[in-house]
Amino acid sequence: MRKILTCLLLCSFFACMAPSENTESSAPSLTDSPNEGPAPTDGELRIAFYNVENLFDTEDNPEKIDEDFLPEGKYAWTPEKYQVKLKNLARVIKGIQPDIIGLAEIENRKVLEDLCAHPLIADQGYRIVHEESPDMRGIDVALLYRSEAFRYLDHSAQRVNFPLEQDYTSRDFLLVAGQVKGGENLYLIVNHWPSRRGGMEESQPRRLQVASQVRGIVDQLYGREQDANIVLMGDFNDDPDNRSITEVLKAKSNWEQKASGSLLNLMSDLSQKEDEGSLYYDNNWNLFDQFMVSGHLLDTQSSFGYVNKSVDIFNPDWLRVGYGKASLAPKRAIFRGEFQPDGFSDHFPIAMDLLVK
């Protein structure tokens, strides 16, 4: 009975949140969703996030700006290069071994299917949550999960509106609901906020707008479930101490402030370290890739919660440039216009663990 009621509540919740103007995509009904897998097992649940930087296939989509990533395009993006990119990304995912991983900068569902089918990770049986978004560059966010660890219930792609720039479009953010062992609900929000192109200050209003909408969804979750288990992940294109994170999203760095309705930024301690971040740009480190969690996940008395100090940046030597002034920086797949067969992305992935008792 509890599961039936949970499903009914979630269906009602997602239906009321679906943006009326988003007619191109809608969350599938539960009967059509791959949520019939075995009950999730107890133990640690590893969650990761990775901005994979321009994972495009080699086929032209007239509705997307993908001309650079075609065999005849700027980067001479051939099937062979695409396969190398998939192999390298699969190597990273295998290294992290996540049960759930959020991804940014993927072109479409096909590239996700190709990635999940790669021999390095095919045995994990990752399932896909994805919706097309109206981003000007044609890139989306997505979520992959192992059904043995996470029972998918529903999802909703949240369209971002920019009232002062009605012609501007960005990525949707993705809300996914599911359950872990014991029937605990878990809400995952995958983000990729507008870039700093044009300048940090000039582009800041866009990120403030997205932050406001994401915070609105968090408040709705809390309104329906006082002790909601929420994990925000993504490339926020802002650091943990920027206004969009601290003032609008209201993600706090002080873990003592874990009252109901709060969000805690797990990356705050990492952001204080010199010469470390999730990306390196213009000779500076940034920590744009972050995890934020609801206060309930920090309750040490709970049967489900964050594993203390488990959050980390996945940055082994083989993911780094390895030479010169930027030797510690992420090794990109395309650098100065040239394909790098041993490259990956301009971001490092991040990972964290939850304990399921």
Domains contained in the chain, CATH given = 38-356 (3.60.10.10)
Confidence of residue 41 (pLDDT cuts 50, 70, 90): low
Residue with tokens 């390095």: 120
How is 128-176 classified by DSSP, letter by letter? EEE-----TT--EEEEEE-TTT-EEEEEEEE----TT-TT-----EEEE
Q: Say which amino acid occupies 265.
A: N
pLDDT digits (tens, 9 = 90+) for 248-259: 999 998 766 666
pLDDT digits (tens, 9 = 90+) for 307-318: 999 999 999 999
Which pLDDT value is given to residue 33?
A: 41
Which pLDDT value is given to residue 16?
A: 52
pLDDT above 90 (res 25): no
**pLDDT (average), residues 137-146:** 96
**136/131 Cα distance (integer angstroms):** 15
Confidence of residue 4 (pLDDT cuts 50, 70, 90): very low
**68/146 Cα distance (integer angstroms):** 33
Q: Lowest-pLDDT range, 16-20, 164-168, 269-273?
A: 16-20
pLDDT digits (tens, 9 = 90+) for 180-219: 988 999 999 999 999 999 999 999 999 999 999 999 999 9
Which pLDDT value is given to residue 31?
A: 29
Which pLDDT value is given to residue 81?
A: 98
